[in-house]
């Protein structure tokens, strides 16, 4: 990390902070980009210019929840002090509560993504092992099926509840509703 004027500069691949590190400030990315990873190494996102890095731990007063590493082009940022977020929270309690809720949802989503990423890695290893065998072992197939069942239970996709309508049927339904209500 290099500090120049009011900017912080990170070289390509430089670790900005690790999950579990204490949090002191956030950063507004001015140039370049930063990769975000779980503690176990799952890539979550890439953030770039005009995006904020490190705000979650300040808003929630916790340790860093992810690992941040400067991308292949490096990154340039300005610091945002902890006090800025404290002042923001004091000025608008409703906005502060909304932001906190969103941050908790983000953390939960990151944890779920990480868990599923690890399960997919386990399944891929089992598939690779099966491919290497001349005649697949029935015990290995049972383990693979068990892992797949575990992932299926963790990833619930109900297209009816999630609102994936048939567009033609939905369009006709909407027209009928519009006529009924005026």
For the chain, the farthest-separated pair of C-alpha atoms sits apart, in whole angstroms, at: 68
Q: What residues contact 55, with CB distance under 8 A and at least 6 apart?
A: 26, 80, 85, 103
Q: What is the pLDDT of residues 112-125, one digit of tens each?
A: 888 888 888 888 78
Average pLDDT over the chain, rounded to an integer: 81
For residue 35, list its beta bridge partners. Answer: 46, 69
Query: What pLDDT, on the 0 to 100 scale, is given for residue 173?
Result: 52
Query: What pLDDT, on the 0 to 100 scale, is given for residue 153?
Result: 67
Output the six-digit token pair for 87.
């002042």
Helices (H) and strands (E) in the chain, counts: 6, 7
Write down all domains in the chain, each with its CATH number in brackets.
2-89 (2.60.120.10), 133-180 (no CATH)
Q: Which of 22-26, 97-101, 167-171 has the lowest mean pLDDT?
A: 167-171
Report d(CA 117, CA 41) in Å as an integer: 10
Q: What is the pLDDT of residues 16-49, one digit of tens each?
A: 999 999 999 999 999 999 999 988 888 888 999 9
């Amino acid at each position: 990390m290099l500090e120049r004027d009011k900017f912080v500069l990170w070289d390509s691949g430089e670790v900005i902070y690790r999950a579990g590190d204490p949090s002191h400030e956030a950063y507004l990315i001015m140039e370049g980009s930063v990769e975000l990873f779980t503690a176990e190494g799952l890539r979550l996102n890439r953030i770039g210019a005009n995006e904020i890095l490190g705000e979650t731990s300040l808003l929630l007063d916790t340790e860093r929840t992810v690992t941040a590493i400067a991308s292949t082009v490096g990154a340039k940022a300005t610091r945002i002090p902890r006090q800025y977020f404290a002042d923001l929270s004091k000025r608008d309690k409703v906005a502060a509560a909304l932001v906190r809720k969103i941050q908790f949802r983000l953390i939960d989503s990151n944890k779920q993504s990480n868990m599923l990423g690890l399960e997919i890695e386990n399944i891929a290893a089992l598939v690779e092992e099966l491919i290497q065998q001349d005649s697949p072992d029935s015990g290995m197939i049972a383990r693979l099926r068990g892992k797949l069942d575990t992932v299926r239970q963790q990833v619930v996709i109900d297209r009816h509840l999630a609102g994936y309508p048939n567009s033609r049927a939905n369009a006709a339904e909407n027209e009928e509703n519009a006529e009924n209500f005026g």
